[in-house]
Chains A and B, each alone.
Chain A
Amino acid sequence: MQLNIEVNGKEIQARRDETILTALLRNGIRVPTLCSIKGLSPNGACRICVVEVEGKAGLVPSCSHPVEEGMKIKTHSPRVVKARRTILELLLSNHPDDCLYCERNENCELQDLAVELNIRERRISGKKSKHRLDLSSPGVVRDPAKCILCGRCIRICDEVQGVSTLEFVNRGSKTVVGTAMNRDLNFSSCISCGQCVMVCPTGALHERSNLDDVLDALNNPHQKVVVQYGPSVSVSLAEEFGIKAGKDINGVINAALRKIGFSYIFDTTFGADVAILESAMELKKRIETNQFLPMFSSCCPAWIKYAEQFKPEVLPLISTCKSPQQIMGTIIKSFFAPAEGINPNEIYSVAIMPCVAKKFEAQREEMTQKAISDVDAVITTRELARLIRLYGIDIHSIEPQQPDSPLGMRSSAGKLFGTSGGATEGIFRTLHYYMTGKEMQQPKIADLRSNGAIKEIELKIGNKKLTAILVSGMGNIRPLLDSVAAGEVKAHFIEVMACPGGCVNGGGQPFGSSEKDVKARAKSIYEIDEVETIKVAHKNPMVTDMYERFLEAPGSDLSKKYLHTRYTKRDVLM
């Protein structure tokens, strides 16, 4: 059904039951918004999107008001502009003036809006609310002073991630975004997925930066700084430097890291390949003995924390294999260092991840060998961009280079870990080999590549039918976990990625990316898989070499000692 409405004196077509805002946007008319998030229903809280509708007493929020036949709308009348400016000035009157020092400087929706509405002086001033900075979590920092109470973080945490750590607390001008009983974040149910950070329009939520730790290590002559970067980082960094979204700049990253002064540069994908071998072997054994099924993936640290808190009953079902980051960390300090004649204590191991929860994972007690952390510091894709800028490196003119040997080589199966379904695809390629002794004729499993929130896939290995379930977006897992705990799920493998779409959409990725950009990243990973010669992890010669020299074989006692762990119930305020 079509409706005719008049906007700024021009007739446009609208669809019945759509909001004014959607009609405007579809017709190329821009109205600023602040509290709305794509994919979630409007809540009309910020009032920035108000428009003037003839015949209505007050201004109307375009995000939530449906179009009506013959509506006459003004989107930028003096009354509207004045209202928007006043609303923004009110927000700014309670906002710190430290833009220059802010995490989100130049990347802030509030700042952009102030520019758009041409706010050039502090017209409204008053007492600012006093808040305490919450630095308790290794992953996410809460700076309530910068919070504009748009509620996006609350909604993503509750409606999309199903974690519900955050909620509005108190009322009126005393309202804050808080946790249960106003506890610090590390006592809360937060899983550090970082999706709240991704939707926060200001610097009120951001990652706990480890950049300074990395810089200190780089400047320390007694330390060898080894770096690894996650599979999805190479296809996500480009956007930070104005390069087309999704472009794989693997070589450029190697070159830049080397220039910055990292002693050894490795690709976490190597660790992912090892994880594939270990997980495939573990899964094969579980299928053979028909025990501890379905096996849950263990590569996502936010998911692990979720399970520990919300459903400890399923912990025994989670693969005991560490995540690729931690596998890399272990191998670097326990295998690479001795092999190269370096004292592991002298190594400072840095991981660059698309993820905030990886920061939490790196400092878990389980992730140490003889009291030495497997990974010393984790920085996000965003922090990597800052590091590159800090060292004055021009990404555009730098010559691509290879990573270091021996942990630089990878298969494209490991690279797939960057997307939802990728871990399953990689593991099943190797599982096929382990179970049948033969390679898959067509390694690409297209069924695993569509981006759904939850998906069940049947895969045939030999004459055995196996079922895998993919879950991405933590909010989709609750009913599944209940069924698993009740023993009603007959699947063999369940891959869980906390972030919708997997690591390409991780909480440590560049800000302001569109859905299209995220898709481009995944597409780029699939393209790498198309052209790569080594498509299965067990054919990565460096991995095989590592096993020969160090861990004997996947699933061996040695690999259990170094690469596997167990998790226990975690008591937090749920």
Chain B
Amino acid sequence: MNTKADAVRAGLSRGLIEIKASLSNPAELLSGYLLMPAIFITIVFLLGDGEGEAGATAGSFVMVGGITMLLVMLGTATVTQVLGSEREDGTLLRARCVPDGMVGYAVAKTAHLAGMAALCLALMIVPGLLLVDGFALRGAVEVFTLLWVCALSLLALAPIGAITGALMSNPRIAVSVSMMPGIALVLSSGVMIPLEIMPDWVQAAVKVFPVYWSGVGLQSALMPAEYAAAELGGAWQLTRAAGVLALWAVAGFAVAQRVLRRAARHTSGSRVQEAREKAMKRGY
């Protein structure tokens, strides 16, 4: 009998239980799921005086910026926070105490992140489609593009969050450490602020990082056809986006795997106890 199959199934059910728990907690529901869509749809309506095509482009540009931001937050801040705090409170160690526990844990975290991302993205995208002019999925190709860009973006970003969460001893500081570069990239990669107004070196530099390419993919899926044709340069750009994101994902997973193994090996009862005492002394 395959022993790993039980662990995978147990992991999937853990992911589901955790998503349910986060949805039944009002504070988490609000800050984790509803806040971002509310903010970005509000911004669109505050900016929304532009009539016709320009207005449609501006509105959908902001929404796409919001989705990119959401992906970055999920991949970095959320992953760091979950991993850091579960390392500190002993959840990770508990997983080590049972056979194949780490397999189950990894499956659970993946399922948790995927499920949470699907919900968050739906909460952002569906109201956007209904309320924001120009923000639309024109056909099956765009739906497909949206799905793979989101999936690949998370795969590229999550290892970064995981590495930070595994390396930093204070999960609360780790969250800001992993969020800061993400926000800097969101601001400089032409997803919130047009890229043209950035200095040339910034325009060149951001193309090395995943956030720019997530933006390119999402814009081509969700913005008006004219904008996509004029600004993004068609299928070639999408291929490059897929390539860069995949490269980050592969490299990230290779590093994350080693770092996580090390973190798991180094967790023990007395270390969890130490971390707890430190946290109590710090008061946060």
On whether the two chains bind one another, the answer is no
B interface residues with partner A (beta carbon < 8 Å):
none
